[in-house]
């Protein structure tokens, strides 16, 4: 009887393998070996519930993420979007145009997410037209006509980000934790006469918790294996980026560059980061 059952199972297995259909892939991604479902259905890890009574210490800091640093390249590349990957700026741009996240204006003066940008203002920020350009009319030599030039804001123009975050100690869990509040892309400013980069211009602020569902479904390159890629949300959740502090909460509401320059500003930034580390270390020092 057992031998008969074994033969029956073997025959059914062979028949099912012989009559099974070929694997059906997604026709919109023909270059993929298999259907990728993990990234498309991913959700951000929810924050742990936090009570005001449990926060025994907190510090708000503002950081600058320089995308020219090698460790931050996964946030900058690819410069031109491909099927399975986009840069951080392209992810933000697509989400803003689709209306899934909101942009906030006055980035240089207001990072409290008060002034919402309209769809028209966002489109005018990403695509600009120069209507003063003149070219010679091919039908009437010697006469000139207006030929507007289209300038599009791309990943190549954004080389840094501002990041606003809160560090706090949760006595309920006995951990030092951090919550990112906002991101602000920084556009390169060029000297019109020489074309040299002379600084950065903030574009807009986005509320980071609102961006997390979008970031969770955006793949980031993994140098170890393409089968297990991280998402943008993983990059920020696991602090897989390099940055420096350019401001902390203070009575004057000023940034470091307003009272220190050069090496002194860098040392002040390291002092702020070290204060946070020492605060956590002293809590467990016996």
Q: What is the 3-state secondary structure (H, E, C) of 142-192?
A: CCEEECCEEEECCHHHEEEEEEEEEEEEECCCCEEEEEEEEEEEEEEEECC
Task: Kindly state the average pLDDT of the residues 252-260.
Answer: 93
Instruction: State the average pLDDT for the chain.
Output: 85
Long-range contacts of 102-109 (CB under 8 A, 24+ apart): 102/206, 102/207, 102/210, 103/204, 103/205, 103/206, 104/204, 104/205, 104/206, 104/207, 105/204, 107/162, 107/184, 107/202, 107/203, 107/204, 107/205, 108/202
Task: Identify the three-state secondary structure at position 128.
Answer: strand
Among 18-22, 59-63, 270-274, 275-279, which is the least confidently predicted range?
18-22
* pLDDT at 14 exceeding the cut of 70: no
The structure tokens listed for 164 are 């606003």
Q: Which residue would you say has higher pLDDT here, 266 or 27?
A: 266
Residues of the chain above pLDDT 90, percent: 56
The pLDDT, as a whole number, for residue 37 is: 73
Residues with Cβ within 8 Å of residue 87, at least 6 apart in sequence: 75, 76, 77, 78, 79, 81, 155
Task: Kindly state the average pLDDT of the residues 130-154.
Answer: 70
Give me the residue spans of the domains in the chain: 30-127+154-283
- Model confidence pLDDT, tens digit, residues 197-229: 888 999 999 999 999 999 999 999 988 888 888
How many whole angstroms separate alpha carbon 59 and alpha carbon 181?
13
């Amino acid at each position: 009887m057992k031998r008969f059952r074994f033969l029956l199972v073997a025959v059914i297995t062979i028949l099912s393998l012989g009559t099974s259909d070929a694997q059906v892939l997604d026709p919109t991604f023909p270059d993929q070996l298999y259907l990728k479902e993990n990234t498309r259905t991913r959700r951000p890890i929810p924050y742990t519930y936090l009570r005001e009574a449990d926060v025994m210490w907190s510090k708000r800091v503002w950081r600058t993420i320089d995308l020219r640093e090698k460790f931050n390249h996964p946030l900058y590349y690819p410069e031109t979007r491909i099927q399975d990957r986009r840069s951080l700026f392209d992810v933000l741009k697509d989400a803003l145009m689709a209306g899934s996240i909101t942009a906030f204006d006055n980035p240089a003066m207001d990072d409290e997410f008060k002034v919402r940008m309209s769809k028209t203002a966002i489109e005018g920020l990403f695509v600009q037209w120069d209507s003063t350009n003149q070219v010679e009319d091919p039908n009437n030599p010697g006469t000139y006509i207006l030929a507007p030039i289209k300038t599009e804001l791309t990943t190549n123009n954004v080389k840094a980000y501002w990041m606003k975050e809160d560090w706090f100690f949760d006595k309920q869990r006995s951990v030092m934790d951090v919550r990112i509040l906002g991101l602000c892309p920084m556009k390169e400013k060029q000297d019109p006469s020489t074309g040299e980069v002379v600084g950065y211009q903030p574009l807009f602020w986005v509320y980071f918790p609102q961006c997390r569902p979008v970031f969770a479904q955006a793949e980031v390159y993994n140098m170890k294996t393409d089968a297990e890629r991280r998402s943008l949300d993983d990059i920020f959740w696991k602090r897989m980026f390099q940055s420096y502090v350019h401001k902390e909460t203070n009575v004057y509401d000023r940034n470091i560059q307003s009272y220190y320059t050069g090496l002194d500003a860098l040392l002040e930034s390291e002092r702020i980061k070290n204060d946070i580390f020492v605060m956590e270390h002293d809590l467990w020092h016996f």
